[in-house]
Chain A
Amino acid sequence: MTEEKDSDERKSFKLLGILDVGRIPCAREAVLHGAGGALVAGLGHFLLTSRVKRSFDVGMAGYIVTTLGSWVYCRYNNAKLRIQQRVIQDALQNKVLYEGTNRDPSKKLNGSSSGAPD
């Protein structure tokens, strides 16, 4: 019981005072991916060119691009999942409503043509 309650109450942690990475789905993963991307891009650029300031600029660009890319990808999958959940929920409700009647989808799949309406 306690463990379930802890997992439901995510801690609020706001970056720049606005973005709550604790509570917004995909935000934490996007920011972490962005940090990793920034590190890779900035460090990689520095190792190749030994230019410090430009490497910071490249790191910042890497941060923005990686965060945005990870965010869009995760939110797109999240949205697809939510739509699937709604379709399944509707199908379950319709199954209960129309079971045994002419509108029963499982009857149509089995090729049954007759059925007494409710």
Chain B
Amino acid sequence: MATPLQLGFQDAASPGMEELVHFHDHALMVVYLISSFVLYIIVTLVMTKLTNKHAHDSQEIEIIWTILPAIILIVVALPSLRILYLMDEINNPHLTVKAFGHQWYWSYEYTDYDDLAFDSYMTPTQDLIPGQFRLLEVDHRMVIPTESPIRVLITAEDVLHSWAVPALGIKMDAVPGRLNQTTFMTSRPGIYYGQCSEICGANHSFMPIAVEAVPLTHFEDWSTSMQQTV
């Protein structure tokens, strides 16, 4: 989860998010170099004693400041396109979970299993126990096995919502009447939090997402106990 005053990304918990973080580092280095160059030019301009009121054109500098930005764009665009197509790869999911957005909670269905579906409401602040996170905890988390490709089908029952988990590098709109698909894989066990990312009414800020990644044996125990409960 995010910590107070955090500016950067959360630690990556999926290979997709790792790739996004690496691309971001690359783009940031390019931005840093351009910023350094601009800062240098500004300082030089301010401190120079040279003036030329009669300059009309300069073919050399025109060529430089046409070719150089094109090269910079290629240096940024090639890794960007690579990761764009990487994110769209279909990787034979082991499990499919359906996430439904409601006003103002999420519900999950595991249709690979018989009769496994539940609602996921935010835990009210007054009901939190010490150590739990305000506005992020839910009564029933979406549990998934680690190291397994998971397909999530996302839709909404009423208005637009958005299912987002930053640590996994996922954000997908929940649109009524439309089924959006995303796939991911968690590299390590843990609980990953997200929040609804499309304005959906009064309690838009109070319908979080909590994904709990557990080893496969624990997941099977959980699914069995949930089916018996439901």
Contact indicator B35/A16 (Cβ below 8 Å): yes
Q: How many interface residues does B have (CB within 8 Å)?
A: 19
Of B23-31, B53-61, B121-129, which binds chain A?
A: B23-31
- Evaluate whether A68 and B33 lie within 8 angstroms (CB atoms) in the complex, with A25-B25, A75-B26 already known: yes
Please determine whether B35 and A18 come into contact, CB atoms closer than 8 angstroms: yes
Sorted nearest first, the 4 A-B pairs with minimum C-beta distance are A19-B32, A24-B25, A60-B40, A64-B33
- Complex contact B32–A64 (CB within 8 A): no
Tell yes or no: A79 within 8 A of B by CB.
yes
List 21 A-B pairs, Cβ < 8 Å. Answer: A16-B32, A18-B28, A18-B32, A19-B28, A19-B29, A24-B29, A27-B29, A53-B48, A56-B44, A60-B36, A60-B37, A60-B40, A64-B33, A67-B29, A67-B33, A68-B29, A68-B33, A75-B22, A75-B26, A82-B18, A93-B147
Q: Which B residues lie within 8 Å of A25 (CB)?
A: 25
Interchain CA distance A15-B39 in the complex, whole Å: 13
**Tally of chain A residues near chain B (CB < 8 A):** 23
Shortest distance from the beta carbon of B16 to any chain A beta carbon, whole Å? 13
Of chain B, the residue at the smallest CB distance from A68 is B33
- Nearest chain A CB to B96 CB, angstrom units: 22
A1 to chain B, nearest CB (A): 21
Q: Which residue of A lies closest to B21 (CB)?
A: A24
B28 touches A24 (CB 8 A): yes
Contact surface of B with A, Cβ cutoff 8 Å: 8, 15, 18, 22, 25-26, 28-29, 31-33, 35-37, 39-40, 44, 48, 147
Minimum Cβ distance to chain A for residue B58 (Å) = 15
Q: Summarize A's interface: helix, strand, loop or mixed.
A: helix
A60 cross-chain contacts in B, Cβ below 8 A: 36-37, 40
A20 contacts the other chain (CB 8 A) = yes
Query: From residue B171, how far is it (CB to closest CB) to chain A in Å?
Result: 23
A81, chain B: closest CB distance, angstroms: 12
> A15 contacts B32, CB within 8 Å?
yes
Q: Cβ of A41 < 8 Å from any Cβ of B? A: no
Q: Evaluate whether A79 and B29 lie within 8 angstroms (CB atoms) in the complex, with A18-B35, A64-B37 already known.
A: no
Residue of A nearest to B32 (CB): A19
Do A64 and B36 touch (CB < 8 A)? yes
Nearest to A23 among chain B residues (CB) is B8
15 further interface pairs, Cβ-Cβ under 8 Å (given A16-B35, A18-B28): A15-B32, A18-B32, A18-B35, A19-B29, A27-B25, A53-B48, A60-B37, A64-B36, A68-B29, A71-B26, A71-B29, A75-B22, A79-B22, A82-B18, A93-B147
A34-75 CB mask vs B (1 if < 8 Å, else 0) is 000000000000000000010011001001100110010001
